[in-house]
Amino acid sequence: MLLAQQVVGLLKDHEEFCVSSVNSQQLKQNPELVKLLMSFLVNPMFEDTELSAVCQPFAVEPFYASSYYNALLGDSNSSMELEKCFYQ
């Protein structure tokens, strides 16, 4: 089965993800589904080496972040924290 077909099958069980705007609480409750959906936008092969994060419009806290992003910044998403990581 193709990955896209597998995702469509999962979305049938999560119809709340088939709308134009998803509640942030729903994103937090389904981290594996979010990660799978984000794999179509952010290449999972670079999960450990690329600094990637995605936020909802007008939000500061990312609902998806690569493991490299989390390793550098943890729960913080401050640009000052990011600068500290690169200029130490």
Residue 13's Cβ-side half-sphere holds a number of Cα atoms within 13 Å equal to: 6
- How high is the pLDDT of residue 46? 92
Strands (E), the chain: 53-55, 62-65
pTM over 0.75: no
Each of the 88 residues of the chain gets a pLDDT tens digit; together they read 688 888 888 888 888 888 788 888 888 888 888 888 888 888 989 989 999 998 888 888 888 999 999 888 876 555 555 555 666 5
Instruction: Give me the pLDDT at residue 81, please.
Output: 58
pLDDT at site 59: 83
